[in-house]
Structure 1
Amino acid sequence: MAQELRLRIYSAIVLAAIVLAATWIGGLAFRIVASVIGLLVYYEWSMITGLAEKSVRGNAWGWFSVVAVTATLLLTSGEMAVPLFAGLVLTAALPAIAGRWSWWQPGGIFYAGLSAISLSAIRGEDSLGFTAMLFVFAVVWGTDILAYFVGRALGGPKLAPKISPGKTWSGAIGGTVAGVAGGIAVALAYFQSVALWVPAVAFALSVSSQIGDLFESFIKRRFGVKDSGRIIPGHGGIMDRVDGLVFACFSAFLLAVGYSAVTGAGIDSLGGFLLGL
């Protein structure tokens, strides 16, 4: 086995162990992991897009914003994180509208801040949050793994050749099928039956995770970088590893917000919402 492949496997095992342990413990432990992901995502985003070079003040505001959001998640129960996050993003958008800051600035705050918030919201503080987080992991990891192997085995038309030449429609379809199956399997492991809502949500999260992968590929191609960073041995940066996961969590969070806005119904648990409970 090549040394680089062994390094990738060891790194993946360590990362999975940390994330799954934090998911099992929940509470502050998981919010710490979510906050670290948010901070590292902003760091890599700012490095890729050159935000520090474009505007020192803008980048300082970006760091202040992401630190403020993650601190709110860590030091409180998290209710104030969303309005604080929205206000910080909108404040960064005003100089971007005026042409003084790059639009990558509010974009970075949005991407990093929502990563931490959505992960924390799905896990929550109850047992449903634990199951829901495993549900999301199963969908995203199943999609990612099977998309790779099915795409290599079957080949065929490219999914987005100008963004990511290696991805195929066969891989995307195979990954989606695997993601939905993985999500259903997790739900059935905890409940006797599942409603049609569960595979529908799994489908939406699977597609979202693949969009997240393509989005990160677009950013790297736009700025001419191979990896988002070098923090993970053999894997590159944190954005390279969590691009699909955070987009799936974005979709889950925004789906719940949209449902609540349309129906007027409150959502006590995002995990329960995802599982149709």
Structure 2
Amino acid sequence: MTSVSRWQDLRPRMLSAAVLIALALVTVWIGGLVWRAFISLACGIMVWELVRMVDTARDRSAHVLGVIAGVCSLAAIYLPPSFALPLLLLPSMAGFGRMERGGVTYAVFTALIMLASYGFMALRADFGLIWMLWLVCVVVITDVGGYFAGRAIGGPKLWPRVSPKKTWSGAIAGWVGAAVVGLVFAGTTQAGAGLMGVSIAVSMASQIGDMAESTVKRRAGVKDSSNLVPGHGGLLDRFDGMLGAALFLLVAGQIVNFPPGVE
């Protein structure tokens, strides 16, 4: 690979990422209904992309299931958690009868998308702006560090059969970047040094989310989830790491106190 071809997708990736990050930061700063509507819209679009990937003959179903997912996502956050859970799984159940193939993949991945979306909203509501920014910074640094280190250093592939561009050097660079983010936030908040460990784990979870989506695309025989985002493909391509991170934090938060060191 020449140096030019190695970096040829950098400009569209950077521009698209800048727009998406700016939009996410504005909505998360505003919070409330604006943030929840943004997440619910993204949730619906990602489910729409998922259906079109795993069952190309179900374009109409993709629209219907995307709407169901978006509505359920928004409604769930206004309900007590015990009543929110059935709504979060409803889109998965609704898809079985509409899918000709890929029903199990759709149901499992949609459930993960719904739970992660709920996690995003809950994190903003329960912990405030600062910890939402921390999560975004960890995932963005993981992605950016992995991109540049992977192309500049190269080396052994992380999972060549599924994602031939991912390298161990990129993965480790993402962990290091996440640790630095954790250190910065630990020094500017009441969180303890344990935040560095949590940040690295969240970085790993974002990478797992990325690889999981790559596996779905590989099985579906597509390069991108859609063509909505120049240089990135679709929203699912852009936010797969965020989904993995949010889902992990939703579960891990039940095991360890979050933020660590803050009573």
Partner of 1:223: 220
Partner of 1:149: 148
Indicate whether 1:44 and 2:49 are aligned: yes
Partner of 1:85: 87
State whether residues 54 and 101 of structure 1, in contact with CA within 8 Å, keep that contact through their aligned partners in structure 2: no
Going from structure 1 to structure 2, the CA distance change for 1:26 and 1:152 (only over 3 Å counts) comes to same
Q: Which AA in structure 2 matches 1:30?
A: W
State whether residues 92 and 105 of structure 1, in contact with CA within 8 Å, keep that contact through their aligned partners in structure 2: no
The structural deviation recorded for 1:246 is 1.0
Q: Which AA in structure 2 matches 1:204?
A: A
| Larger deviation, residues 244-253 vs 62-71 | 62-71
State whether residues 76 and 85 of structure 2, in contact with CA within 8 Å, keep that contact through their aligned partners in structure 1: no
**What is the TM-score with the length of structure 2 in the denominator?**
0.83
Structure 2 CA distance, aligned partners of 1:111 and 1:87?
9
The structural deviation recorded for 1:207 is 0.4
The structural deviation recorded for 1:154 is 2.1
Deviation per CA, 1:143-171, whole angstroms, max 9, x where unpaired? 11111212222222111010111111111
Going from structure 1 to structure 2, the CA distance change for 1:155 and 1:81 (only over 3 Å counts) comes to farther
Deviation per CA, 1:99-135, whole angstroms, max 9, x where unpaired? 998212322430331232111111116xx42111111
The structural deviation recorded for 1:172 is 0.8
1:14 aligned counterpart, secondary structure: helix
Structure 1 CA distance, aligned partners of 2:221 and 2:173?
29
Partner of 1:114: 115
Unaligned runs of 5+ in 2: none
Partner of 1:69: 72
State whether residues 228 and 240 of structure 1, in contact with CA within 8 Å, keep that contact through their aligned partners in structure 2: yes
- The count of residues paired between Structure 1 and Structure 2 equals 256
Q: Which AA in structure 1 matches 2:198?
A: V
Structure 2 CA distance, aligned partners of 1:10 and 1:152?
19
Deviation per CA, 1:64-103, whole angstroms, max 9, x where unpaired? 65144223147x266466322355268569979xx99821
Q: Report % sequence identity.
A: 34
Going from structure 1 to structure 2, the CA distance change for 1:109 and 1:213 (only over 3 Å counts) comes to closer
Going from structure 1 to structure 2, the CA distance change for 1:275 and 1:120 (only over 3 Å counts) comes to farther
Partner of 1:267: none
Partner of 1:138: 137
Q: Which AA in structure 1 matches 2:112?
A: Y
Q: Which AA in structure 1 matches 2:133?
A: L
| Larger deviation, residues 166-175 vs 101-110 | 101-110
Structure 2 CA distance, aligned partners of 1:81 and 1:26?
23
Q: 1:214 aligns with which of 207, 211, 214?
A: 211
Going from structure 1 to structure 2, the CA distance change for 1:39 and 1:199 (only over 3 Å counts) comes to same
State whether residues 235 and 241 of structure 1, in contact with CA within 8 Å, keep that contact through their aligned partners in structure 2: yes
